[in-house]
A and B are shown apart, each in its own frame.
Chain A
């Protein structure tokens, strides 16, 4: 341990701790900074985190200093404050100050630090400003405004060291220096939108979010990305039941501070035109909207026989309820080819479903398309599909269910919903609470972020109601009760209390899961 004094406070840190982190702890807030980022190599170029260390003639940047025993550090004295102000002023002299049309306004490092350290009157002549190129499209998701850039090089270091793709660089020198894209390249790696997150100013903005909403109007909800089996921890920013963007949320055990671009744009599906928002019943060749009473009488008449097919996009609780609903009937998942895609070495999994692990834990077999079709062909008159689109993906399945009663529980209109005699609109991932189990067996909570469209039902309540109509047993009154039941029924959970999972999830030992990943 190393003992040092920061602003008169004596503190102990482990050897090798960065002085930047030590100061953050001592001050209760970070030193002003642009270039420092805990997950990127040190650049030391913004020169904002300068502190005074006793015995050193010059101010020292804290980010590139490790704590030493007996160090006496000042972070709030006049000299340090003045240096921070002067350096901030240097950052601003050639900045266009176009906050009124900048997406970053409200969460901008320049704005925040100006309020903290600046508050001076500008002495730059308008004619003295260096102007640079604005609004350049540099990739499918990102727009670059070099005039707003403070050249902290975070984005460059991200592409060099995190993705290893190296698309970005600093071109030219002096105050003509600009972030730019390597000739013939575009910023199109799977993680390009992270550069927007780490850009401390409005130089890199998201083409998707651009001009959509002022950030101070947004509310944030912590949840889990449904895009793949990694289960990145995310924050969904929304207002008035509309999602505007997704940002990664720090979880060192899952995704660190990053997430992929696919996951980030998953929210679009929540608000898609094709959402099912009312129950439908087949009427001859057509489907028509029906009342819930009509739906129930139709479902009651099925007699609870047939094949039950659940998708890996449902939560652990929903799968458990659905399995119970199937009762003596066969409950399977499939087609197993569904929800696969290219993965990468960083975060994106080849398994593009959020909860396949739970199927294994619940003992629900995943069947390949032709096998699933064979089972449907053999099924006793009724096939219930919960999520996914097996009719669209497996032609043999479509043929197999043709003469049968097909019930579809789902969120979007697709080939399966079109073929169904009964369609029950359910909730998208951002409209319900539940548990996803990622590929590593980590239990993570998804949260209700926005309201369900139209008459879409909350999945577990609908399943519990349906169950209640078939067997007269008392159904769980709420999610906590349901989760207690799930914990009892699923051996792989190893007695884990599902009601105490926190915002960063809870890992269940892999050895106890009994399933394959």
Chain B
């Protein structure tokens, strides 16, 4: 198959005026919506999405249709939210979708809202994406004018309003309940579950939050059918996925691939291998929060949910970071630990205190003031954070930390051995001297 055959989501990337309604419609846009509100109806749409095997593309990979099914059948008011916070380091696929193909996102959002009978759809865009907010708002205005939004959509009697909401730039607002709190006007902090948002979310009503890429996949499934979608990918990881690749490869950027593709092929054929003079050292597959893989581990895995889990990491958001041999892994983890320390919302104690502690220990190591015990302490601190908090931010910090320690421990130890610190490296000895 030609690489272009896999382009479901990225079909219009680079098309002139692809973000305009006229171009989108001329290429078959909004036909899926006509089908959905016409013949299919909400139940059938949900069923099709379930059958397609489409999984949440934000990071957790939860089957989208199943999530929709959690909305109580007798709910009077339902809200739908599109998560365009895209705050996971290394991830920049959703911004491509909104930039090049906002109508695909909007059509997918309307269909998804229709499937759960939502009365309001909020597209939550991170504050840093200023131009995308304007572009998306323009596209929403076009959709309203064309009768795809508002009262009686396409004569079906279905009414939906859509709001483009600007975030204020917090990582945690990409977590669905943090996002809901932020939209509500509260501090962007995740809510305790239960209740889950599908039962009680925005303003206490059932709320479904889906990633941009997830909803953008929906029109294709309705237009071309479940079979056509399932023709790509594997049994459990159906369809295609956008990977946003950064690092010194020949072709960085956003690539759409069928799930299940061997990383080796992706690396060699899509990315064109490492840039001149660079050597592959490690790969972060799905955004900075997933465990890092060594070059060798990466080369022996495939890009789908199951294979990557088997390899000890996660597909995550598809924010792939290629790490070259010249990269100092401790410096890299320091950058990441600084990020999680900065972004922890501060609610849950293990995350609030743990992220800062990890950051300070790593910083100390890099200053050449660390000890071998500090390296063990990093591991111990991770143990006191993972799985003990309301949302997965603590885990998101722990997974890279632990995997860096596990796979690149020698680099941490070298900092201790190379330390110019004279005398015994005991922390206590130093402390009492000072």
Interchain nearest-CB distance for B324 vs A (Å): 31
By the criterion CB–CB under 8 Å, are A90 and B349 in contact?
yes
By the criterion CB–CB under 8 Å, are A59 and B387 in contact?
yes
Residues of A within 8 A of B364 (CB): 125, 128
By the criterion CB–CB under 8 Å, are B388 and A47 in contact?
yes
**How distant is the Cα of A42 from the Cα of B346 in the complex, in angstroms?**
16
Interchain nearest-CB distance for A117 vs B (Å): 12
Interchain nearest-CB distance for A183 vs B (Å): 15
**Proximity string of chain B (316-360) to chain A, C-beta cutoff 8 Å, 1 when within and 0 when not:** 000000000000000000000000011111111110111111001
A86 proximal to B (CB < 8 A): yes
Q: How many A residues face the partner with a CB closer than 8 A? A: 35
Interchain nearest-CB distance for A428 vs B (Å): 45
Residue of A nearest to B357 (CB): A93
Residues of B within 8 A of A42 (CB): 192
Residues of B within 8 A of A151 (CB): 346-347, 349, 352
Interchain nearest-CB distance for A247 vs B (Å): 27
A176 proximal to B (CB < 8 A): yes
Q: How many B residues face the partner with a CB closer than 8 A? A: 36
By the criterion CB–CB under 8 Å, are A45 and B355 in contact?
no
Partner of A45, one of B344, B348, B387: B348
By the criterion CB–CB under 8 Å, are B384 and A94 in contact?
no
**Proximity string of chain A (169-190) to chain B, C-beta cutoff 8 Å, 1 when within and 0 when not:** 0101111110000000000000
By the criterion CB–CB under 8 Å, are B350 and A86 in contact?
yes
A18 proximal to B (CB < 8 A): no
CB interface residues, A 168-222, toward B, < 8 Å: 170, 172-177
Known A130-B356, A175-B346: A44·B390 in contact at CB below 8 Å = yes
**Proximity string of chain A (331-360) to chain B, C-beta cutoff 8 Å, 1 when within and 0 when not:** 000000000000000000000000000000
By the criterion CB–CB under 8 Å, are A44 and B192 in contact?
yes
Interchain nearest-CB distance for A96 vs B (Å): 14
B157 proximal to A (CB < 8 A): no
By the criterion CB–CB under 8 Å, are B384 and A86 in contact?
yes
By the criterion CB–CB under 8 Å, are A125 and B389 in contact?
no
Interchain nearest-CB distance for A86 vs B (Å): 3
By the criterion CB–CB under 8 Å, are B346 and A90 in contact?
no
Residues of B within 8 A of A11 (CB): none
Residues of B within 8 A of A64 (CB): 192, 194
Residues of B within 8 A of A174 (CB): 341-346, 352, 355-356
By the criterion CB–CB under 8 Å, are B345 and A150 in contact?
no
**How distant is the Cα of A63 from the Cα of B187 in the complex, in angstroms?**
22
By the criterion CB–CB under 8 Å, are A87 and B384 in contact?
yes
**How distant is the Cα of A45 from the Cα of B172 in the complex, in angstroms?**
15
**How distant is the Cα of A59 from the Cα of B349 in the complex, in angstroms?**
15
Residues of A within 8 A of B385 (CB): 90
Residues of B within 8 A of A46 (CB): 348-349
**How distant is the Cα of A170 from the Cα of B387 in the complex, in angstroms?**
24
A58 proximal to B (CB < 8 A): yes
B383 proximal to A (CB < 8 A): yes
**How distant is the Cα of A46 from the Cα of B427 in the complex, in angstroms?**
29
B224 proximal to A (CB < 8 A): no
A447 proximal to B (CB < 8 A): no
Partner of B346, one of A61, A87, A126, A176: A176
**How distant is the Cα of A42 from the Cα of B361 in the complex, in angstroms?**
33
Given contacts A44-B192, A175-B341, 6 further A-B contacts (CB under 8 A): A58-B387, A125-B427, A173-B344, A174-B345, A174-B346, A175-B344
9 contacts between A and B (CB under 8 A): A42-B192, A47-B349, A58-B387, A86-B384, A90-B385, A125-B427, A125-B431, A150-B349, A173-B345
Report, nearest first, the 6 A-B pairs whose CB atoms are least far apart. A86-B384, A177-B346, A44-B192, A175-B356, A174-B344, A90-B353
Measuring CB to CB, which residues of chain A are less than 8 angstroms from any residue of chain B?
A: 42-48, 50, 58-59, 61, 64, 83, 86-87, 89-91, 93-94, 123-126, 128, 130, 150-151, 170, 172-177
